[in-house]
C-alpha cells in the first residue's frame, strides 16, 4: 500500500513539476525566462492585460472554440444517432472516415487545410480556423456521444411514443435529458480541443485570426517573452477554478441543507 501511495505521489509531482516552475516565473522580474526568479512583481500581469497583442488572441481563441463546439455538436449528434442506431452499406467506411482526423498527424492535416482553404480563399480567416478545428474535434466528440448513446435504453423512447408523444417531443423530453451529460462532455472536449490546438492554427490562422496557442508559440520562438508564463498560470488557474467550483458549490449546498434540517428539527 505504501508503494502505491509513493508511486501516486511521484506521478503527481511529475505532473505538477512544470507548474512549480512556471507559476513563480510569472511573478519574476527577469527580462526573460529565469528560475529561480531574481525578484517578484506583477508587472508582466499588467503587461498582459494592457497589451492587445495578447488579449485579442485570447478573445479569438474563445470565439473560435465556441463556434467550433457548436458546429461540431451540430454535425456529431446526427452522425452518432445514424452510426449507432442504423445499419447501412458503407457504415464501417464512414466510421473510419470519422476517425481519420485522429489517425492522421496534425502537421499533415495542416498542410492539407493550407492548400485546400487557399483555393477557397478562407485561409488566414476565423472561418477557416473554425472549419479546420471542427474536423479535428469530430472524432473525440463522436466517441463520447456514441458511447453515451450506446448505453441509452431505447425502451424509454418506445414508452413515450406509445403514450402519444411525437418523435420530436420524445427527443426533447426523454432522449435529450438522459443524454445531456454526454452532450455536455462532448461539447466541452470540442471546446478544449479547439482552444488548445496550435499546429493547424500556425498554418492557417494568420494575424487577423491569431489564436492564443499560436501567439504563445510565436512569442517563445521570437523573443522568449516572460508573459508566456503569465498566460500559462492564468490558464492553470482557470482550469483549477472550473474543477473546484462544482465541489465548492456542492459543499455549500450540503452545509446549507444540514443547517436547514437542523433548524427544522429544532
- The pLDDT assigned to 262 comes to 65
Which among 235, 223, 232, 231 has a CA at the least distance from the CA of 31? 223
pLDDT 10s digits, 5-16: 888 888 877 877
Average pLDDT, the chain: 84
3-state secondary structure 30-42: CCCCCCCCCCECC
- Between 135 and 240, whose confidence is greater? 135
pLDDT at 84 exceeding the cut of 60 = yes
pLDDT at 209 exceeding the cut of 60 = yes
For residue 197, give every residue at least 6 positions away whose Cβ sits within 8 Å of its Cβ, in sequence order, or none. 106, 133, 136, 211, 213
CATH code at 52-225: 1.10.3720.10
Q: What is the mean pLDDT of residues 36-60?
A: 86
- The pLDDT assigned to 263 comes to 65
Residue 10, burial from CB neighbour count under 10 angstroms (0-12, 13-18, 19+): exposed
Q: What is the mean pLDDT of residues 161-175?
A: 84
Task: Label residue 72 by pLDDT band (50, 70, 90).
Answer: very high
Q: What is the mean pLDDT of residues 21-40?
A: 79
pLDDT at 34 exceeding the cut of 90 = no
Segments making up each domain of the chain, as ranges:
20-50, 52-225
> pTM of the predicted model, to two decimals?
0.84
61: helix, strand or coil = helix
223: helix, strand or coil = coil
Amino acid at each position: 500500500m505504501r508503494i502505491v501511495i509513493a508511486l501516486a505521489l511521484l506521478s503527481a509531482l511529475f505532473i505538477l513539476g512544470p507548474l512549480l516552475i512556471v507559476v513563480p516565473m510569472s511573478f519574476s522580474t527577469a527580462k526573460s525566462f529565469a528560475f529561480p526568479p531574481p525578484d517578484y512583481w506583477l508587472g508582466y500581469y499588467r503587461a498582459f492585460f494592457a497589451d492587445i497583442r495578447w488579449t485579442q488572441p485570447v478573445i479569438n481563441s474563445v470565439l473560435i472554440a465556441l463556434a467550433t463546439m457548436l458546429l461540431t455538436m451540430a454535425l456529431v449528434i446526427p452522425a452518432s444517432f445514424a452510426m449507432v442506431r442504423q445499419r447501412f452499406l458503407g457504415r464501417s467506411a464512414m466510421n473510419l472516415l470519422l476517425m481519420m482526423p485522429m489517425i492522421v498527424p496534425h502537421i499533415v492535416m495542416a498542410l492539407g487545410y493550407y492548400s485546400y482553404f487557399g483555393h477557397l480563399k478562407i485561409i488566414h480567416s476565423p472561418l477557416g480556423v473554425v472549419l479546420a478545428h471542427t474536423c479535428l474535434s469530430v472524432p473525440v466528440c463522436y466517441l463520447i456521444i456514441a458511447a453515451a448513446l450506446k448505453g441509452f435504453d431505447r425502451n424509454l423512447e418506445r414508452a413515450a411514443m406509445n403514450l402519444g408523444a411525437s418523435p420530436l417531443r420524445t427527443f426533447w423530453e426523454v432522449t435529450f435529458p438522459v443524454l445531456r451529460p454526454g452532450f455536455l462532455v462532448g461539447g466541452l472536449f470540442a471546446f478544449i480541443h479547439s482552444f488548445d490546438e496550435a499546429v493547424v492554427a500556425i498554418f492557417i490562422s494568420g494575424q487577423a485570426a491569431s489564436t492564443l496557442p499560436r501567439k504563445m508559440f510565436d512569442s517563445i520562438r521570437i523573443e522568449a517573452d516572460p508573459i508566456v508564463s503569465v498566460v500559462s498560470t492564468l490558464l492553470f488557474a482557470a482550469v483549477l477554478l472550473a474543477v473546484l467550483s462544482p465541489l465548492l458549490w456542492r459543499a455549500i449546498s450540503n452545509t446549507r441543507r444540514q443547517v436547514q434540517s437542523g433548524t427544522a428539527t429544532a
